Every structure is written in structure tokens, then in C-alpha cells.
Amino acid sequence: MSTSGSVPLPGGPADESPEKLGLFVRELARAAGELHLTRLEDPGEIREKGPKDLVTEVDLLSEDLLISRIQERYPNDSILSEEKGGEISPTGRTWFIDPVDGTANFARANPLFCACVAVAEGQKILHAAVAAPRLGDIYHASLGEGAFRETASGESYPLQVGGAEKLEDSFVGADVSYRHGNDPAKNNILEVFKKCWQVRSIGSAGIRGAWLAAGYIDVSIGTRNTAWDYAPTALMVSEAGAASRTSPAESGPTTPTASSPRTTTPCRKRS
């Protein structure tokens, strides 16, 4: 999914502007985060939708909230969400939503969880927001307009990727799990861990991507990446000054960093 260029925005109000659409994306993520906080000590029913893959009542409530607000404002847009699925429009506008990213953390009242919202037009990601309500931050980006961290008090700070030039100088954010003990990708990731400076296990792909854009980590590794997780990361790190490049990991799993889902090279600033 590309993060360059600009296109008209059909499907919304006639007087819609890119600024209003970006604000709406942030408002959606903020509303979902506020819902998370009201149920932090009461996530409701928790079940496994797959091996070690949890979903709570709050995931479903947050998803309903996000989908209903999008459909009310943009009834012609496509939506792809984590729990209900959906579709990607090949030429029109598509919303990517993860109502609670880091559900396992949320289920234990661990503060590292978030709501992820991104909107794309065809192959271009236009706006994205990651709301981490327990941290009090909303990370957001708009195509060609930069990436920012907004605090609970309303202060806004631009995001800038880190300056590590070598893996040995890098902080690696990694959330990895293997269903089979003999997975050959495990050895490749262990090599990254051995060569980097330090490893951070976060438990939320959305926060991991936002922290990559903010320069808190230099490399992001995940073994269960999805479109609704990767879309916000791709836009935010690009808008935060990351050079655009792709380098294949040697027989490795998906390991997104600056702009590539398959790289173990540190995220690097544009020169």
C-alpha cells in the first residue's frame, strides 16, 4: 500500500476537506480509546478466537462504535476490521480498524493497548491514528502533512524516526510467537536480538509502529502483522522522516521497520 501522492476524496460530505477527514480519523481513535478506559477493569467475556488470540467484549463494542460512525458519515466507503472482516475497495476509499490492538494486554489491564484507525484511497494511505488511552497519547499522521503525538492536555509534538545507523546501535521492538517449536524463522529473529543493542517486547503492533515513528525504537518485528496494524505504521514512519526502501530478510518472518514489511535494517532518516 503506497504512502505517496494525493487524490480526491469521494464518498463523504460534499464539502469534505482532507483536514476534516484527518480530524475525523483522530476523533474515531479517541472515542474508541475512551471506551477502553470505561471498561479497563471490566473487559467482559474473554474468549479465544484462535490459539493464543484473544477477543474481549470491549473489542466488539469498540468495533461496533467505529463501524457505525464511519457508515453514518461515509456510507459508500469500504471497511476492513479485525473482528468482523470486510473488504478492501480496489479503487475507492477503505477504512482499516483495529478496535483494541494489544487485546492480551488490555485483558490484564496492562497499559500498552490502543485503537488503530487508518483510511486509504485506492493504494494510498491518507490518514492514520493510534490512540493509546492509558498512556494519554494519540499518534497520528496525514499524507504529506507529517506525523505527530498529541497529549491528553492537547499539546502536539512532531514525530521523528530515530537516528541509529547500525543494528548494533538499535532498540528493537518485537512481538513474536510461534505455533510450532521448529519454526525456522525463530533462528533469524534470535540473530537480530543477539546483534541489536536492546529488545523491547510491547504487545501491541499499533503502539510498536507509533514508537518506531517517534524514534523510541529503531526496528519493529512482528510475526502476526495484518493490514489494520500495518497501515498506520506505514504512513506514520514515512511521515516521520523514514527513508523508503525494501530489503528482504533472509528466510525470515514479516519484520516491519520504516517502510518495509520485510527488513531488519534500522529505520533511517531521509538524507
CA distance 69 to 247: 39
- Identify the band that residue 251 occupies on the pLDDT scale cut at 50, 70 and 90: very low
Tell me the CA distances in angstroms from 13 to 9, 10, 203, one per residue in order. Answer: 9, 8, 37
End-to-end CA distance of the chain: 23
- Quote the pLDDT of residue 270: 56
- Identify the band that residue 70 occupies on the pLDDT scale cut at 50, 70 and 90: very high
* The three cell numbers locating residue 53: 488470540
Most confident residue range from 9-23, 42-56, 241-255: 42-56
Class level of CATH domain 18-158:
alpha beta
- Quote the pLDDT of residue 64: 96
- Quote the pLDDT of residue 38: 95
Asked whether 76 and 94 are in contact (CB, 8 A), the reply is no
Binding-site positions for Mg(2+)? 82, 98, 101, 229
Closest-CA residue to 84 (of 122, 49, 124): 49
Binding-site positions? 82, 98, 101, 229
- Quote the pLDDT of residue 181: 62
CA distance 104 to 155: 30
CA distance 207 to 209: 5
H or E element, residue 259: none
Instruction: Please provide the DSSP assignment of 189-225 as one string.
Output: HHHHHHHSSEEE--S-HHHHHHHHHHTS-SEEEESS-
Most confident residue range from 8-12, 52-56, 206-210: 206-210
For the chain, the domains span 18-158
Average pLDDT of the chain to the nearest whole number: 82
- Quote the pLDDT of residue 182: 67
H or E element, residue 251: none
Pick from 29-33, 86-90, 239-243, 264-268: least confident: 264-268
- Identify the band that residue 130 occupies on the pLDDT scale cut at 50, 70 and 90: very high
Asked whether 46 and 107 are in contact (CB, 8 A), the reply is yes
pLDDT tens digit string along 157-190? 999 999 888 888 889 888 877 666 666 667 777 8
- Quote the pLDDT of residue 265: 43
- Quote the pLDDT of residue 269: 58
